[in-house]
A = this chain, B = another copy of it.
Amino acid sequence: MNVVVFTGGVGGAKLCDGLARSVGEEHLTIIVNTADDFELYGLHISPDLDTVMYTLAGIANPVTGWGIEGDTFNNFAMLERYGVSPWFHLGDRDLATHLLRTQLLREGMPLSMVTRVLAQRLGVKARLLPMTDDRVRTVVDTDEGLFHFQEYFVRLRWQPEVRSLIYEGVEEAHPNDEALRAIEIADTIIIAPSNLYFSIDPILALPGMKDALLNAAAPIIAVTPIIGGEAVKGPAAKLMRELGEESSAVAVARHYADFLNGFVLDERDAELEPRIACMGMGVLVTDTLMTDRDARARLACEVINFADQLRPEKLGGCRADLLPPQR
């Protein structure tokens, strides 16, 4: 059983946790966005990788979704005493991850290997892959100017109006080789309920990544990050509106339509099912909110079963003729 997940941070990490519990961590390959990575005091910080890693290691902060449970912020307090007010709050324990990662990167180890070392030491058995070892950075073009992602997201709290996004460096970046191979031999490929533009698109923009999906034998299923026209967390819906899209699950399905075989729609949006089904993909309507750990595992199970339903048709070949599954 080989399950491949494309993911960003918090929402995607929850689904990964559910998948880990329902199909077993060792069957998971998780391809993680690194276009949000940034440097603070010379430390290399990979927010999405850390969120997924902490979540799978069972040490994620359950309230925020990011950072480490029970972490303290004494380092931060001291930085403030020095008159430095970083807009990104790093916990004392969390800082250990960044210190080690930065040290290993400086010693010449690629990010993928650093990630493997860190994840293994925290007991994570899933294969956690940064989308690339190369530097890709999301730049947000807004009505207030150009900002690096974290500045826009954390410091400006995604308030400026977005005109477009640039994934700086993505054309020259090499997608992670293991990721490409995993997609090739996958039984199921899942696009996690992560931000389309900030988390999933940078991965898809890597040279060869979209082709890998188009050539994949496995059914490809996306779980909606939009419920009732709003993002479960973060700026996805606001961004869709600013970029001239309909802020709804329909637009998410349309966004991924050229490679998608199935779409998991939230039950609160059940009336949108026909509009998505007519794009030629299967639709599973269910509760996608993942309010607790059991809900994560339940949703993960449903997604895997949904993929199994899609598989025969997929193997049959005609993607466009797929019927929506019976509810």
Contacts and interface: CB of A to CB of B under 8 A. Distances in A.
Interface of A: 41-43, 68, 71-72, 74-79, 81-84, 91-97, 99-100, 102-103, 106, 118, 121-122
A271 to B, nearest CB: 47
A41 B102 contact: yes
A78 B96 contact: yes
Given A71-B74, A74-B93, A93-B75, A82 B118 contact: yes
Copies of this chain in the oligomer = 2
Identify which of A78, A81, A84, A97 gathers the most chain B CB atoms within 10 Å of its CB.
A78
A97 B68 contact: no
Identify which of A94, A102, A103 gathers the most chain B CB atoms within 10 Å of its CB.
A103
A82 B100 contact: yes
B41 A122 contact: no
Contact of A79 (B81, B99, B102): B99
A103 B41 contact: yes
A79 B96 contact: yes
Nearest to A39: B103
A95 to B, nearest CB: 5
A121 B83 contact: yes
A51 B237 CA distance: 51
Given A81-B121, A118-B82, A121-B82, A75 B100 contact: no
A77 B103 contact: no
Contacts of A72: 72, 74, 92
Nearest to A43: B99
Contact of A42 (B77, B79, B103): B103
A81 B68 CA distance: 13
Contact of A81 (B75, B103, B106, B122): B122
A264 to B, nearest CB: 35
Nearest to A118: B82
Contacts of A77: 93
Identify which of A42, A74, A95 gathers the most chain B CB atoms within 10 Å of its CB.
A74
B100 A84 contact: yes
A41 B99 contact: yes
A263 B155 CA distance: 57
